[in-house]
Structure 1
Amino acid sequence: MGLLGILVGLGLLIWLAFRGWSVLLLAPLSALVASAFGREPLLANWTQTFMGSAAQFLAQFFPIFLLGAVFGKLMDDSGAVTAVATFITRRLGERRVILAVVLSGALVTYGGVSLFVAFFVIVPMAQSLFRAAGIPRRLVPATVILGTSTFTMSALPGTPSIQNAIPMPFFGTTPFAAPGLGMIASLIMLGIGLWWLLRAEKAARQANEGYGEELSIATSAAADDERLRGRATTAREFDPAEISHGHRSEAEVPIVNAVLPLVVVVVVNLVMSLVVLPRLDVSFLAEQRWGSTSLSAVAGVWSVVVALAGATATVVICNWTRLPALRQTMDAGANASVLPALTVASLVGFGAVIASLPAFDMVRDWALDIKGGPLVSLAVSTNLLAALTGSASGGLTIALDALGQTYMDVATREGIDPGLLHRVAVIGSGTLDILPHNGAVVSLLAICGLTHRQSYLDIVMVGIVSSVVALAAVIAMGSALGSF
Structure 2
Amino acid sequence: MSIFAIFLSLSLLIYFAYRGVSVLVLAPLLAIVAVVLSGDSSQTMGIYTEVFMQGLGGFAVKYFPLFILGAIFGKLMEDSGYAYSIARNIVDKLGDKHALLAVVLACSILTYGGVSAFVVTFAIYPIAAALFKQTNIPKRLIPGAICIGALTLTMTALPGSPAIHNVIPMPYFETDAFAAPGLGIIASIVMLGGGMLWMNRQTRIASANNEGYGNHTLNEKEPHSGIDIPNFWLALSPILIVIIGNYAFSKIIIPLWNNSYLADEKFGGVTLSSVIGIWAIILSLFLACIFVIASSFKRIDSVAESLNKGATGSLLPIFNTASEVGYGSVIATLAGFAIIKQSLMGISPGNPLISEAIMINVLAGITGSASGGLGIALEIMGASYMQLAEQYNIDPELMHRIASLASGGLDSLPHNGAIITMLTICGLTHRESYKDIFATAVVIPLIALTLVIILGTVFGSF
* TM band (smaller chain): over 0.9
Q: Which amino acid aligns with 1:397?
A: G
CA 1:248–1:281 in structure 2 vs 1: closer, same or farther (change >3 Å)?
farther
Deviation at 1:292, TM superposition (A): 2.2
Taking the aligned partners of 1:204 and 1:111, their CA distance within structure 2 comes to 33
Taking the aligned partners of 1:297 and 1:32, their CA distance within structure 2 comes to 32
1:4-59 deviation line (CA, Å, top 9, x unaligned) = 11112112211111111111111000000011112221001100000001101011
Does structure 2 conserve the Cα–Cα contact (< 8 Å) formed by 1:218 and 1:447?
Answer: no
Taking the aligned partners of 1:274 and 1:104, their CA distance within structure 2 comes to 28
Equivalent residue, structure 2, for 1:320: 297
Equivalent residue, structure 1, for 2:26: 26
Taking the aligned partners of 2:198 and 2:327, their CA distance within structure 1 comes to 38
Equivalent residue, structure 1, for 2:182: 180
Deviation at 1:277, TM superposition (A): 2.0
Counterpart among 46, 49, 53 of residue 47 in structure 1: 49
Taking the aligned partners of 2:257 and 2:393, their CA distance within structure 1 comes to 27
Equivalent residue, structure 1, for 2:327: 350
Does structure 2 conserve the Cα–Cα contact (< 8 Å) formed by 1:112 and 1:159?
Answer: yes
TM-score (norm 1): 0.92
Deviation at 1:276, TM superposition (A): 1.6
Taking the aligned partners of 1:61 and 1:170, their CA distance within structure 2 comes to 13
1:441-481 deviation line (CA, Å, top 9, x unaligned) = 11111111111111111111111111011101110111111
Equivalent residue, structure 2, for 1:258: 235
Does structure 2 conserve the Cα–Cα contact (< 8 Å) formed by 1:123 and 1:448?
Answer: yes
TM-score (norm 2): 0.97
Equivalent residue, structure 2, for 1:68: 70
CA 1:262–1:44 in structure 2 vs 1: closer, same or farther (change >3 Å)?
same
Does structure 2 conserve the Cα–Cα contact (< 8 Å) formed by 1:257 and 1:315?
Answer: no
Counterpart among 346, 364, 372 of residue 341 in structure 2: 364
Equivalent residue, structure 1, for 2:285: 308
Taking the aligned partners of 1:215 and 1:5, their CA distance within structure 2 comes to 49
Deviation at 1:218, TM superposition (A): 7.0
Counterpart among 413, 435, 438 of residue 460 in structure 1: 438
Extract unaligned runs of 5+ from structure 2.
none
Taking the aligned partners of 1:252 and 1:139, their CA distance within structure 2 comes to 27
Equivalent residue, structure 2, for 1:285: 262
CA 1:333–1:133 in structure 2 vs 1: closer, same or farther (change >3 Å)?
same
Counterpart among 443, 455, 458 of residue 477 in structure 1: 455
Deviation at 1:417, TM superposition (A): 0.3
Task: State the identity %.
Answer: 44
Does structure 2 conserve the Cα–Cα contact (< 8 Å) formed by 1:251 and 1:322?
Answer: no
Equivalent residue, structure 1, for 2:10: 10
CA 1:284–1:71 in structure 2 vs 1: closer, same or farther (change >3 Å)?
same
Farther-moved stretch of structure 1 (289-298 vs 185-194): 289-298
Q: Which amino acid aligns with 1:432?
A: L
Extract unaligned runs of 5+ from structure 1.
221-243
Alignment of 1:13-412 (within 5 A): 13-40=13-40, 41-214=43-216, 250-371=227-348, 373-412=351-390
Deviation at 1:184, TM superposition (A): 0.5
SS at match of 1:316: helix
Does structure 1 conserve the Cα–Cα contact (< 8 Å) formed by 2:6 and 2:34?
Answer: yes
Q: Which amino acid aligns with 2:171?
A: P
Taking the aligned partners of 1:121 and 1:424, their CA distance within structure 2 comes to 31
1:112-134 deviation line (CA, Å, top 9, x unaligned) = 10110011111111111000000
Taking the aligned partners of 2:213 and 2:190, their CA distance within structure 1 comes to 28
CA 1:283–1:335 in structure 2 vs 1: closer, same or farther (change >3 Å)?
same
Taking the aligned partners of 2:414 and 2:243, their CA distance within structure 1 comes to 32
Taking the aligned partners of 1:206 and 1:125, their CA distance within structure 2 comes to 25
Farther-moved stretch of structure 1 (283-292 vs 53-62): 283-292
SS at match of 2:275: helix
Equivalent residue, structure 2, for 1:422: 400
Deviation at 1:357, TM superposition (A): 1.1
Deviation at 1:280, TM superposition (A): 2.4
Taking the aligned partners of 1:359 and 1:281, their CA distance within structure 2 comes to 46
